[in-house]
Amino acid sequence: MVLLNNRYDILKELGSGGFAVTYQARDQMQPSKPFCVVKQLRSNQASDPRIVSFFEKEAATLEILGHHPQIPRLLAHFSENQAFYIVQEFIDGQDLSLELRPGIKQDEAYGLCLLQDVLPVLEFIHQNQVIHRDIKPDNLVRRQADGKVVLIDFGAVKQLASLQVNAGGQVTSTVVIGTSGYMPWEQSQRKPTPSSDLYALGMTVIQALTGLTPDQLDEDPKTLELEWQTYTQVSPALAHLLSKMVRHAPRDRYLTATDVLADVNHLVGVPSRVATVRVGRPVPDSFLEPEVAPPPVTRRNWLKWVGFGAAGLVSVPMLKSFLSPAPPAPGGRAQPPAPKANTNNSLSEFTFNIVQVNERGETISTSPGRAAYFTEDLGNGIGLDMVALPGGEFVMGSPPEELERGDSEGPQRTVTVPAFFMGRFAVTQAQYQAIMGKNPSAFSENGANRPVEEVSWHDAVAFCEKLSQQTGRTYRLPSEAEWEYACRAGTTTPFHFGPTITTDLANYDGNFTYGTGPKGVYRKQTTDVGSFPPNAVGLYDMHGNVWEWCADHWHSNYEGAPTNGTAWLSSDESTSRLMRGGSWDSYPRYCRSAFRNVLPPVYRYDLIGFRVVCAAARAL
């Protein structure tokens, strides 16, 4: 074990290049031993007092920048064995290079959201007389906790490792900081300005819209201006804005991030504002008043419902009353106009095995289960199975002692959920094709029975609306409370399988473990729905495979949340939306029943799908 400064336990190398190596580490001096990032900066003159003074100055700057919620906090800095070390907050997420894949074009809404997310950060650092100098997809990390883009890897840190004292006693740098294609010409001459960062951000957004990296784009030989607009379709206003960000001459570009942000906000209809730094997320102005929930169902009734009680399932005739069309949840879309009634109101029953594991992921019990459901006919032999779930109470969120939990998962509270139907599986590619007439999925080869992905929240809502029009029943996305209630199915452990998870039970990144569970396989793609055991109410793939959109707007915790199972909505429809369940590319802790993820509603990834619910006319 390598222990730096008698405190930081080095776990693995995250990356290296030039003069620096970056490691993931644990802070052994903190009670929770949190992750952190340690950057080792090698220097041949680390003992020179002038170099040390420069290091101290830059560290002080990083400390100030870390006050912005979208910049990693500086935790410590020190020198040891002829090397400088910077210790920063570990940002749990993925960099945008995983979103901006070659040949994949993002839409205009994506580009605007990215600009709105990053420009306020540039405002802040430029106001503090700092130029980043290396903005590119690899240095923009989408934080898992809230979907915000965090700016990492400042050029000043890289420069520290290349400093030397020249013959005149001056501290100088011998390297150009920046990445070819993203940095403008003046930066390559070691003369960066704030507009150099705007150029790099503009190139990143153009990459997102065209699916092409900067080296694949040509310049006009006469004007030296970038030729990019023929590779994508965006509004003239956005095209003008981006072209101005990436003008060859600095004097022709936007001068400040504030100017760019004002034009972006004008495009999307947001009032101009004075640049400020907000610590934490704003509390939404309001959320809609919830409806009154039905009386709770007891634990005994829940067990009877799923087939464990002596009385077995509730009678099918009683369940038929669930199938009448019902109004949408508060804040949902308007009910479709006069749809043709669907007369397929019969319910069937299916059986399955319920698996429970211990802390090591070993199966300790397998018991029979059964559930009632109906199949919605989508045409051409394609059906949509909807499983009946009883109303009841459950404790939502995770307890403080749950391993690797996040603050957004609390405080725990008791929530009452009315009865409803939920999709037995995530919506498949075949089902999406049947309703929407297209299949946007990245894993479309032999993918009819795989979950649809590359769908935004708006795409999922449009599917629900069209399905409702076709069937005469109201389909919608589940509320976050409904999703967790259905996932847990009466359990209180991190996963409905028990205290851990294995890749025999779900599709996630098996290179990583939860607790004392085992490592497994990393499939690097989705799997057919229903490939793994279901939970106690007969729902499949509630952990892993694809993230599932929920109806709710994002809130940073459950303070003030409804307790009747309805979606928690804010007055700002552009607010990010919730996702649950984890994906094929997720660490196991992200697949926990209580874990909450968030993204703007316009985003599409091959990690994200959805599952639908159908409202019940009345509870049992």
**Helix/strand/coil (H/E/C) assignment for every residue in 90-150:** CCCEEEHHHCCCCCCCCCHHHHHHHHHHHHHHHHHHHHCCCCCCCCCHHHEEEECCCCCEE
What's the full length of the chain, in residues? 620
Closest CA to 140 of 117, 171, 106: 117
Which residue has tokens 């452990």? 493
The single residue of 27, 95, 134, 153 carrying the catalytic annotation is 134
Query: 195: alpha, beta or left, given left = phi > 0 and alpha = psi -120 to 50?
Result: alpha
CA–CA separation, 544 and 32 (whole Å): 26
Element (H, E) at 464: helix 457-471
Closest CA to 214 of 154, 142, 138, 157: 138
Beta-sheet strands, E only, within 218-302: 218-219, 226-227
Q: Is 134 a catalytic residue?
A: yes
Peptide linkage before 411 cis (omega within 30 of 0): yes
Task: Give the neighbor-by-neighbor strand order of the sheet with 83-89.
Answer: 3-4, 8-17, 20-27, 35-42, 83-89, 74-79
C-alpha gyration radius of the chain: 26
Which amino acid makes up residue 151? L
Helix axes 429-436, 457-471, angle to 10 degrees: 70
Tokens of 496: 């409905």
92 burial level (CB within 10 Å; 0-12, 13-18, 19+): middle
Distance of CA 115 to the CA centre of its chain: 17
Strand pairing class (608-609; 547-553): parallel
Element (H, E) at 386: strand 382-389
Element (H, E) at 387: strand 382-389
574 secondary structure, DSSP code? T
Report CA-CA distances (Å) from 519 to 10, 503, 511, 564.
21, 8, 6, 38
Report CA-CA distances (Å) from 135 to 100, 181, 266, 288.
14, 11, 24, 40
**Torsional sign, CA 57, 51, 72, 102:** positive
CA–CA separation, 348 and 500 (whole Å): 32
Task: Give the residue numbers annotated as catalytic, written as ranges.
Answer: 134
